[in-house]
Structure 1
């Protein structure tokens, strides 16, 4: 189904019996469509981390250091942040599909480059393209899930959008680990399978029941994403918890295989992929478990989980304990999932649909800037002083940031109890 152009008053078009209706007449699609709308988010995030278990192969065949590995990872962040400067605003103005379809096309190109990579430059380009595609998906794709869900299911939409992201992020390395260990030509096989998943996502986007926005464009098309006036407090709270959470999982994705190799003496791609999958499975499960709690309670729990995860990381590297490292990864995953769900829910609860993709982009910019800087710094520090010392410094710094984020949320919750200050709980 192509996008439907709606009038500024958002007249109800094609509303069936039993469909939830937004104030002003905008209806949500049937629930199964909400789940299907989340699939493109999952498919692109499978690609985002599919390379994780394969880096040990590329390091062996091409030859590069831990610092170079984190630079390759950082180009993903560069592409993502650059995409977020554009995709949210464009999606809100011309529609979700015109942003999602080119993004899926670029993701398919990234698969081709990964499958044929013979040098660091190719890996950098593939990661850059992947980051651009992911930037479009976390703004336009996640907003599309909320749009399809409709006003009456806005919390369900935020939940499914967030879970689609973290489930895909976990499925990617696990699928890649299993395929690369059990089938020939591992890098080719992994990205051929991912390309097939992306093609099914293209089909879902083409059929997605979305309306094309009719509001006139205002302001620059390329800009740092922001939220409407009066919603800055919600954005700050989301970033304060989401940023440390996603930085923790980014560290596990980039340097986790090296830590496992040091602790277990194994370079098994299935083991590395399974740890990443378990981390993001925890991120998915915890969101369903807390979905009925107040938003700020979810955020406070996310900050606590990330801080505890970093304490466990420091213990793991000093005690050379793989089980403690796994516990750290699970807590990091829970921290990202809770921070992401809390942030998205706060934004979707009050921001109008015509600014929602830009708001999602703003949340992710705040998160991914930190996720790009700290793991890269930890990678080069580990090359200089050793992985144990590098991981310790990283853990202490990130634990401090997570605690600070929790204090920001608690201060906002106390302020929200003052009548007329901020009722979004």
Structure 2
């Protein structure tokens, strides 16, 4: 259920701390997002290492990834509401503590169960980041820089997601004791984010404020279409990149024996750099056109994936990864922009939570189903079914945005 906002001239109006917007403050706050997303994808080049060490199947590999998604979605159910009520700072700091604990668990991991715990804690940290931290970035921009801050928040997410695996891949390839070194570096990065989070402004409380009970996240009915449209494009794009992160190293090894952690890390990094580049190139475009480009990139991703399965090999797989980065980046940019422009600051984190819940649930379930299907039916059939499913979602999304454009031309 949605609740009406108090009037602007009410002395009890909920408001964020009044601070002058500045690019430096936006960038400082965005580093928190970069730091946590570096951790989220840093394990990617290490999956082959752990797969050999603990001798688990492709299904187990995707289950480890799904544990991260499960924690993320559970966190999203409450993190947005708590961030809007208690303030961003009080939610961000516990999230960063979860990321610190995740680093410690990765360093000491001696079994698959330890990896599950570490990924769960990472999911908690990311769930808080995509709600409270990204909303804090938009808050730092103020009303005058709302769109620019939303762009920075989106770019920070994909930048961190790209930096993590390339750093990890280089360490695995060139240094001894890679697990310890990778997560020791990540630990330092998380501590730097905590140093910034401590300096975030506290929420300005309203007088006689009565705490509301926690409930499922919600937005006003007039904004439901904005949310659904964002999910329709963000979800398949995110599922595509999730697939590349969880099973990309296995695919590389299957096609050509190029199971090098550096190759896997570079592929993941370039994928997210394309996501950043596509957002920068399209930042001035109307959201309808951004969604068109996202849907087109998704179709190219699925085509290249099918080509990879039927003789295209690692070259087609790299092209699929590049297109997947554009599909996610533009779908995310369009969704975040719609919500940041149309929804008020005191409900923005909750709206971000709903957007990410809608995107991360399929991003977790579909790769897991594909991983277990691989163990039963093999690569070709499993990935072909996944490609067909995501292509069908993309067609629906493009149809919806086309109908909307006819009703509301840019």
TM-score normalised to the size of structure 1? 0.91
Aligned to 1:241: 233
Instruction: Using the TM superposition, give the Cα deviation of residue 82 of structure 1 relative to its aligned residue in structure 2, in angstroms.
Output: 0.5
Instruction: Using the TM superposition, give the Cα deviation of residue 324 of structure 1 relative to its aligned residue in structure 2, in angstroms.
Output: 1.3
- 2:299 corresponds, among 307, 311, 321, to 307
* Farther-moved stretch of structure 1 (204-213 vs 139-148): 204-213
| Higher share of residues assigned helix | 2
Aligned to 1:220: 213
Instruction: Show CA shifts across 1:44-77 (max 9, x none).
Output: 0001011111011111111100000001100001
SS at match of 2:56: coil
Contact conserved, 1:35 with 1:160, CA < 8 A, in 2? yes
SS at match of 2:259: coil
Instruction: Using the TM superposition, give the Cα deviation of residue 321 of structure 1 relative to its aligned residue in structure 2, in angstroms.
Output: 2.1
SS at match of 2:222: coil
- 1:385 corresponds, among 377, 384, 388, to 377
Q: 1:67 and 2:59 equivalent? A: yes
Q: 1:85 and 2:48 equivalent? A: no
- 1:341 corresponds, among 310, 328, 333, to 333
Contact conserved, 1:94 with 1:212, CA < 8 A, in 2? no
TM-score normalised to the size of structure 2? 0.94
What is the correspondence of 1:15-94 to structure 2 with a 5 Å cutoff? 26-94=18-86
Instruction: Show CA shifts across 1:127-173 (max 9, x none).
Output: 11100110000000000000000111111111010011111111111
> Given the superposition, is the C-alpha separation of residues 11 and 138 from structure 1 closer, same or farther in structure 2, using an over 3 Å criterion?
closer
In the alignment, structure 1 segments of 5+ residues that lack a partner are 1-5, 14-25, 418-424
Aligned to 1:364: 356
Instruction: Show CA shifts across 1:203-261 (max 9, x none).
Output: 1111234543538456432x332222311110010000000000000000010001111
CA distance in 2, matches of 1:85, 1:9: 25
> Given the superposition, is the C-alpha separation of residues 124 and 12 from structure 1 closer, same or farther in structure 2, using an over 3 Å criterion?
closer
In the alignment, structure 2 segments of 5+ residues that lack a partner are 1-9
SS at match of 1:212: coil
Aligned to 2:139: 147
> Given the superposition, is the C-alpha separation of residues 28 and 358 from structure 1 closer, same or farther in structure 2, using an over 3 Å criterion?
farther
> Given the superposition, is the C-alpha separation of residues 10 and 127 from structure 1 closer, same or farther in structure 2, using an over 3 Å criterion?
closer
Contact conserved, 1:158 with 1:345, CA < 8 A, in 2? yes
Contact conserved, 1:93 with 1:217, CA < 8 A, in 2? no
Q: 1:325 and 2:317 equivalent? A: yes
Aligned to 2:157: 165
Instruction: Using the TM superposition, give the Cα deviation of residue 182 of structure 1 relative to its aligned residue in structure 2, in angstroms.
Output: 1.3
Aligned to 1:195: 187
The two structures, once aligned, show a CA RMSD in angstroms of: 1.7
Structure 1 segments of 4+ aligned residues over 6 angstroms from their partners: 10-13
Instruction: Show CA shifts across 1:173-218 (max 9, x none).
Output: 1110001211111111100000000111011111234543538456
- 1:119 corresponds, among 104, 107, 111, to 111
Instruction: Using the TM superposition, give the Cα deviation of residue 11 of structure 1 relative to its aligned residue in structure 2, in angstroms.
Output: 8.2
SS at match of 2:399: helix
